[in-house]
Amino acid sequence: MAYQSNCGRGSRSRSGSHNGNRDERRRYGALNAIGGFSRDPRYMIIGENSSSNDPIYRGPCPPNPDGTDLENVYGFFYHEGELTVNESTPSVTTPDGAVYRRVELNATALMSDEGLVKERTRVLILDPGIYYLSYNFNVPESAQVNATFSLLYNRERIPGTSVSVQKDESDAGMSVSGHALIEVDANGAEIILGSTGFFDLTPETFENIASLIIFSIA
């Protein structure tokens, strides 16, 4: 079955107008915008015995075949090689005064053609919608780290993504991670993986020190 992008599900028009999307999302909520927890007949899920399941929103907003479906916005970024965070590393300050150094992600494994802009120490999300974010940070066995890691959304900590690490050189290696869902409005978003501490880490075997995944779900 051919899929057509539908502006009620969050796709964007090439003309840059997002007002219809924002109104629909405000009215029916983020979960309804992705077809969940709604008895509204405009959200149709075909039965199990049917040839296909179709949770596509069927509201009054007409399909926009020239738009970019937000389900096609994704990125997988990581740091390759030695990772150093020190006093000269670019930093951001949160509204409550916490200073985070911006962890460099110097490699891209996969990224959509549109919707994201990758820079050395941040990723810009251009399109409004609901996004899943996930990061992983590997601390080698021989390393010493005393830091808190967080994902920052427009320079504010994303709840549930802050993890504190206190490890000396005698401790075993460890891996920490954080995950979140965020809603991005028409102004877009700046995403940063931040650290409150300094370190100089060399990956062991084939591991990468840091990685970040972003993809849109609605």
| Cβ–Cβ under 8 Å, residues 94 and 155 | yes
Paired strand residues for 84: 200
Please tell me the CATH code under which domain 71-216 is placed. Answer: 2.60.120.40
Please write the tens of the pLDDT for every residue from 113-162.
999 999 999 999 999 999 999 999 999 988 999 999 999 999 999 999 99
Stated pTM of the model: 0.69
Q: What is the pLDDT of residues 185-203, one digit of tens each?
A: 999 999 999 999 999 999 9
Q: Which of 125, 122, 170 is nearest to 145 (CA)?
A: 170
pLDDT in tens, 49-68: 434 444 444 444 444 444 45
Residue 100 CA to residue 92 CA, distance in Å, equals 5
Report yes or no: 120 and 106 within 8 Å, Cβ to Cβ. yes
Domain range annotation of the chain: 1-67, 71-216
